[in-house]
Each structure stands twice: as C-alpha cells, then as structure tokens.
Amino acid sequence: MPSSTRKREVGRGERILPGVWRLRLPLPWPGVPHCNAWAVAAGDGIVLFDTGLHEPGSFANLERALAQVNLKVEHVRLLVCTHAHSDHYGQAATIVERTGCELWMHPNHDHMLQAARDPDAALDRRVEVARQSGVPDEPLRRYSEARRGQGYGIAGIIEPDRDLVPGIDVHTDLGTWQVFETPGHAPSHVCLYQEERRILISGDHLLGRVSLYYDYGYSPDPAGEFLHSLDLVQELDARLCLSGHGRTFTDVQAHINANRTLVRERLGKVEEVIRAEPGITAYEAIPKVYGAAITALNANWWLSETLSYLRHLEVTGRLERIDGTPERWAVAS
Ligand SMILES: [Zn+2]
Ligand SMILES: [Zn+2]
C-alpha cells in the first residue's frame, strides 16, 4: 500500500489509575509501532516520564494524546527521561522550550548526546566496530552511505538540569518515586519506583514482550549490566509495570524471569557457536546464533547484541578474542 494511503497512527491518551495516564505515541519503526510516555499528577500539573520520538508531526501527537485525557503540554512541571534513546528523549528539547520545566536524566548519556553532537565521528566509530567484527566492506559501505546525514530523531541536544541518580526523588501526587540505575539496554537507563504502591516505570528495561537490545561500545559489559539490573529490579517486588512500549502488566516477576532466561539462552548459544567453530568472527557467528540470515533491517541490532554476549563471555573468562582485523573468537585457554 502506498504510504500516502496507509492509515497513519496518531497519539492516544488513556487513564491507567487516578492520576496516571498512558500517552501512546506513534513510531515510524518497523515492528515497533509506538512508545509510551507516562503522565503522573503532581500538584497543579504533571510530571512527564519520557517524550516520544521527534519527527515531523510528532509534537502534535503528544498534544493530541494529552488532550484526550484533558491535559496540555503546559501542565508539564518536570520532565524525567528513563534513558537517552530518541523515543524516550527525542522531544525533550521542545517540551522544555515550551514549558520552561527542568529535565532530569542519568548523566551517562554520551551514547546519544555525544553521538548527536558529532554524528560523523559516531558513525565512523560504528563502522570501525563493524569492520573489526568481520562485516564485509560492501554492505558496510552501503550502510555508511545510507546512515550518513540521517537525523537522530531528537529535536535538539539538551543536557539534563539534574543528574537522575539514586538518592534523587521525584515527587508526585501518588507519592515519591525513587531512582534505580538499570544500565544494559542503554548506559543512561534508570527505572523509577513508587514503593507504597509498588509501581515501576521501567522504560525499556522491562517490556511487555521480551526484546533484548544493548547499546554496545559505551560501557564495559552491557549484557552483564543488564543481568545485574534485572536482579536489582527483582528486589523491588513491583506489582505493576508501566513500560516504555506496550501495555501495562502486573506479572513483573515473570517478565524478569523471561528476560533472564532469554539472555542465558543466547549466551549459551554464542558460546556453543564459538566452541563448534573456533576462530570465527562475530559477523560469521550471527546467523548461527539466531538461525536466520543477516538483513539490512536486523544487522545493526544483532551485531550489537552478539558483541555484547561475546564481551560478557570474555569478561567472565569463557571466551577470548584473537586480536587482528577482523577480530576472531575462541574458547578461553
Ligand atoms: Zn531504548
Ligand atoms: Zn524505547
């Protein structure tokens, strides 16, 4: 169907609890049709958790979602971002400009802010990682050409007014939300927890369906960090999860277990693949790990994920890398 006749998704708002609203905002990404921002009543206004992606028409979608629950952008007293990915932080600059509110976000946001400040350097670095991982020159050149000059889905580069770290509390009519650092999906990731009501704002750390993604290259061991973050969130014993995509869910423990199981499975698979064929590259390992061919759509995602597992198996002493260009992997001696 030509895109002009395809029904365009629009922003939608719904009340989840008294004083908590889900703002469902469309995304232009295949397989990820929308993301959530969460509005929570606070005095004469709201605290807004996350923003939606910035693209033409995106701000109108946020306004429309708010209007459906009788709110306006002008009600935002504080903007809190769970992490610096474009679908959670993209409209921060516009919201702050419109309202004069503060932005609170974790300080490990280089994976977005630094990359957006110097996109060419970020792309060069990414291409270099891919080359080292064994991605052949031709697809790499095509990727690089397609990616260069593309935007980041953010309205502007805006630094947080306050570093969102443990010890910082977010006050709302539902009570205080505590900050928990949950890196793995992204180095800047935090979850917010309302202890008395046992409600977790989980960003992309926990989603309704298990979907593993890691920002590789900005921290020592993204997969290990993610596993640690799952342990941390398990301790909270949340009974309602407001996640960054999809519907709310209550079986939080089952979701934590499902994530952990899939990470363990993939780690096991990556190790098995290297054991069976020592000396292969990350790129060569990917189709064997996933049992499917690499395509332009999945290449980036699967490479980051596979590299994160290889790295975790390296730091835990299971595998070792054989230096060279490209890098190859073997069982640790
Ligand atoms: Zn994310
Ligand atoms: Zn997201």
Q: Which tens digits make up the pLDDT trace of 101-112?
A: 999 999 999 999
| Chain centre distance of CA 23 | 17
Q: For residue 213, how far is its CA from the centre of ligand 2 (angstroms)? A: 10
Q: How far is the CA of 71 from the centre of ligand 2 (A)?
A: 23
pLDDT tens column, 133-187: 999 999 899 888 888 888 889 999 999 999 999 999 999 999 999 999 999 999 9
pLDDT digits (tens, 9 = 90+) for 289-304: 999 988 888 888 999 9
Return per-residue pLDDT of the chain as tens, 333 residues. Answer: 444 444 578 999 999 999 999 999 999 998 899 999 999 999 999 999 999 999 999 999 999 999 999 999 999 999 999 999 999 999 999 999 999 999 999 999 999 999 999 999 999 999 999 999 999 999 899 888 888 888 889 999 999 999 999 999 999 999 999 999 999 999 999 999 999 999 999 999 999 999 999 999 999 999 999 999 999 999 999 999 999 999 999 999 999 999 999 999 999 999 999 999 999 999 999 999 999 988 888 888 999 999 999 999 999 999 999 999 999 999 998
**3-class DSSP assignment, residue 252:** helix
Matching residue, tokens 């309205």:
155
Among the bound ligands, name the one nearest to the CA of residue 185: 1
Token pair, residue 157, equals: 């580069």
pTM score of the predicted model: 0.95
Q: How far is the CA of 87 from the centre of ligand 2 (A)?
A: 5
Q: Which residues surround ligand 2, an ion (CB under 5 A)?
A: 87, 204, 244
Exposed, middle or buried by CB within 10 Å (0-12, 13-18, 19+), for 196?
A: exposed
Give the contacts of 92 (CB within 8 A, at least 6 positions apart): 51, 79, 81, 103, 105, 154, 155, 156, 158
Kindly give the distance from the C-alpha atom of residue 43 to the centroid of ligand 1, in angstroms, as a whole number: 29
Query: Who's near 265: CB < 8 A, 6+ residues apart?
Result: none
Dihedral (CA of 292, 226, 304, 30) sign: positive
Q: Render pLDDT for 111-128 as a digit per residue (tens, 0 to 9).
A: 999 999 999 999 999 999
Judged on CB neighbours under 10 Å (0-12, 13-18, 19+), 117 is: exposed
Q: Tell me the CA–centroid distance for residue 204 and ligand 1, in Å.
A: 5
Whole-number pLDDT of residue 151? 84
Q: 3-state secondary structure string, 167-232?
A: CCEEEECCEEEEEEECCCCCCCCEEEEECCCCEEEEECCCCCCCCCCCCCCCCCCHHHHHHHHHHH
Per-residue model confidence (pLDDT) at position 147: 85
CB of 53 within 8 A of CB of 91? Answer: yes
Q: What pLDDT is stored for residue 7 in this prediction?
A: 59
Q: What is the pLDDT of residue 283?
A: 96
Predicted local confidence at residue 57, as pLDDT? 95
> How many angstroms does the Cα of residue 202 sit away from the middle of ligand 1?
11
What's the rounded Cα separation, in Å, for the pair 194 and 33?
28
Ligand nearest 182 Cα, by number?
A: 1
